[in-house]
A and B are shown apart, each in its own frame.
Chain A
Amino acid sequence: MQAQSDEQLMAMLAAGETAALEILVQRYHRMLLGYLYRFVGGDRSLAEDLVQETFLRVLRQQHHTMPESFKAWLYAIATNLARDHLRSADCRHMAAVPEEDWLALRDPSPDPETLVLAAEQERLLVAALGQISAEYRAALLLRYFNGLSLHEIAEALHIPLGTVKSRLSTGLRHLRPIITQKQVGVATHGTD
C-alpha cells in the first residue's frame, strides 16, 4: 500500500480503509506541521491543533470533494484554516515563541553549534515571515519549504499561475530587506 499514490489512498480511505489514513498521515504529518508552524508564527501547539483539524477536514470532506491533486487539496485546507485562525478576533498578534521552544528544536546531528545555528535561522525566518502578508507567506512556504510545484500552488491557493509567480518574486523581495535587517541586528547584538 506504501507504493499507492495519494489519490489512490484517498479512494481507499473513502472505501473505509483505515490503513490508507495511516499512510497519508505518515506522509504529510511532518511537512504539514512545519508549514503551519511557520505560517502561524512559530506557535507549535497551535500548529499541531491546525494539523489535526486539517486531517479532520480531509476525513469529513472526502465524500464531497474528489481532489485532482491530494497534496494541493491538503495544503489548501491547511492554509484556509491557518488564515481563518489568524483573521479571527482573538488572534491579533502573531504568537511570541517561548525561548525553550527554540532550544527544543530537533536536529539529526547532535552538534550543539549546528543546533544553535539552525535554531537561530529558524527564529530569523519565522520572525521575518510574520512581517509579510499571509498570501506571500503561503506561496513562499509551499514553494521553498514544502516543495510544491507552481501548478500545485496555484491549485492550493486558488490563484492563476501568473499570480503564483508574482507572489513568489514579490514575497522574496519583501522578505530580503527584513532578513538582512534582522541579521544585522543579531550580529550587532552578538558583538555587544
Chain B
Amino acid sequence: MEPIDVIAGKLRELDLPAEEIDALAPVALLFSRGQPPEPTTADTRQLVAYLSSVMPARSPVRQAIRAHQQRQGAGVRGLLATARTQVSLFGLDFWLVSALVTLVGAVVVLSNVGDGLSGQEVLLRASGPFLAYLGTVIAFRGMQRRVLECELVCLPSPLQLALARLVIVLGYDVALGLALSLALWAGGAEQVLALTLSWLMPLFLVTGLALLLSLRLSVQVAASLAYAGWLAVVALSATSSLQALSLTPLAEALLGGIGLALLAIALLRLQTNMHRLLPRF
C-alpha cells in the first residue's frame, strides 16, 4: 500500500490546488489498497511454458549466422566485415569509371593551370557529384534488381547495409579525392585545398540528397534529380551574369556539412521508410 504522502506527491504533479489534493487523495489511495487477484507461481510457469511453445523458432542456419555476427562484434569491425560482403555489388565498371572521372578531372585542371581558378572549380564541381550519382545508383539498386525484399529480411538491418555500402562508396570517393589533391599539388596547381573542396563537398551534398530522396522515389530518379539539381546550380553560378552565386570555399564546406546532415537524416529514417519502395499490388 502506498503511503498517503506518496499519493499526495503524485497528485501535486497534476497541478491541483491543495484542498482538491486532500479531497482526491483517498480516492487515489484505493488503487493500492484493494487487492486484485495475483497469479500463482504455477500460473506464471504455465504461461511461460505456453509462450515458449509458440515462440518463433530459428533455423540452425540463422542461428549459426547470428553466432558468427556476435563473434565479429557490433562496432566498426562488424561494419567493415559487412562492408566487405558488399564489395561484390560494385562491379569493375564502378571502380574504373570513378577513377577515370577523377583522372580526367585532374588532367583537365592541370592542363588549364594558367586559366584561373573558376573554370577549374566548375569542372570539379560538376565531376565530383557524378561519382556520388554513380555510387548511389549502384549501391542502392535492390528494387531495380528485384532483391529489395531479400535485403529487408536478411540479418544485417537495412541501416547496417546502407552504412556498409556508404563506407565503400564514400571511402573510395574520398580516397580518389585525396589522390586528386596530391595530383593537383604535384602538378603545381594553385589553391589545392579550394579545388579539392570543390570536388568533395558537392559529392557529399549530392549523396545525402540522393539518399534522402530515395526514401520516397526510386533510386535512379532520386540520384538523377539530386545530380541534375546540382548541375543546375553549377550552371547558374558559372553564368557571367550570376557570378554572385559563386561558391566560396567556406560556402562549399557548408554545403558538404548540409550533405552529411542529409545523409544522417536519410539513415535515421531508412529503417521506417524502406517499405515504401516495395512494389505495390
**Which chain A residues have a beta carbon within 8 Å of chain B's beta carbons?**
15-16, 18, 21-22, 25-26, 29-30, 33-34, 37-38, 44, 47-48, 51-52, 55-56, 59, 101, 104-107, 118-119, 121-126, 140-141, 143-145, 150, 165, 168-169, 172-173, 175-176, 179
Contacts and interface: CB of A to CB of B under 8 A. Distances in A.
B35 A144 contact: no
Nearest to A121: B34
B144 interface: no
B48 A25 contact: yes
A13 B32 CA distance: 31
Given A18-B55, A175-B27, A176-B23, A51 B47 contact: yes
Contacts of B63: 16
A59 B92 CA distance: 44
Contact of A38 (B24, B27, B36, B56): B36
B55 A172 contact: no
Contacts of A173: 24
10 contacts: A16-B55, A16-B63, A21-B51, A25-B47, A25-B48, A29-B43, A47-B37, A125-B31, A169-B14, A169-B24
Contact of B48 (A21, A44, A145, A169): A21
Contact of B33 (A44, A56, A118): A118
B27 A121 contact: no
Given A26-B44, A150-B13, A168-B14, A37 B27 contact: no
B231 to A, nearest CB: 40
Contact of B54 (A56, A104, A168): A56
A33 B38 contact: yes
A106 B13 CA distance: 32
A158 B170 CA distance: 40
B31 A145 contact: yes
Contacts, number: 110
A38 B14 CA distance: 23
A176 B65 CA distance: 58
B16 A169 contact: yes
A21 B52 contact: yes
B3 interface: no
B30 A179 contact: yes
B51 A118 contact: no
Contacts of B15: 165
Contact of A144 (B10, B23, B52): B10
A160 B130 CA distance: 46
B55 A59 contact: yes
A29 B31 contact: no
A56 B54 CA distance: 8
B114 interface: no
B21 to A, nearest CB: 10
Contacts of A55: 47, 51
Contacts of B51: 21, 25, 52, 55-56, 59
